[in-house]
Amino acid sequence: MAHAVENTRSLSNPLSDMLNRVRDAFAKRRTYNKVLRELSGMSDRELTDINLCRGDIRRVAWEATQL
């Protein structure tokens, strides 16, 4: 019986790890999309004020997910 309980625990860890990775991936995607939307909605003047250009938006959004 103890062996069956041990097997159940070993199965739950990989599943839990996978679910955590999926959750983290969705959270990163939400962050990326939010930053992308916010920066894309700024005017060129506003972007220049924060030392960015339109070509930087995707990179900055990606970097925001790496924090």
Condensed to tens digits (0 to 9), the pLDDT of residues 7-22 reads: 555 556 888 999 999 9
Tokens 């990989």: give the residue. Answer: 14
pLDDT of residue 67: 81
Residue 19 maps to a domain: no
Residue 53 maps to a domain: yes
Structure tokens at 67: 């924090």
* Of 66, 11, 44, 24, residue with least CA distance to 56: 44
**With 90 as the cut, is the pLDDT of residue 4 above it?**
no
Residue 30 maps to a domain: yes
Residue 5 maps to a domain: no
Residue 18 maps to a domain: no
Residue 65 maps to a domain: yes
Range of the domain at 50: 25-67
pTM: 0.76
Residue 7 maps to a domain: no
| Number of domains forming the structure of the chain | 1
CA–CA distance, 43 with 11 (Å, rounded to integer): 51
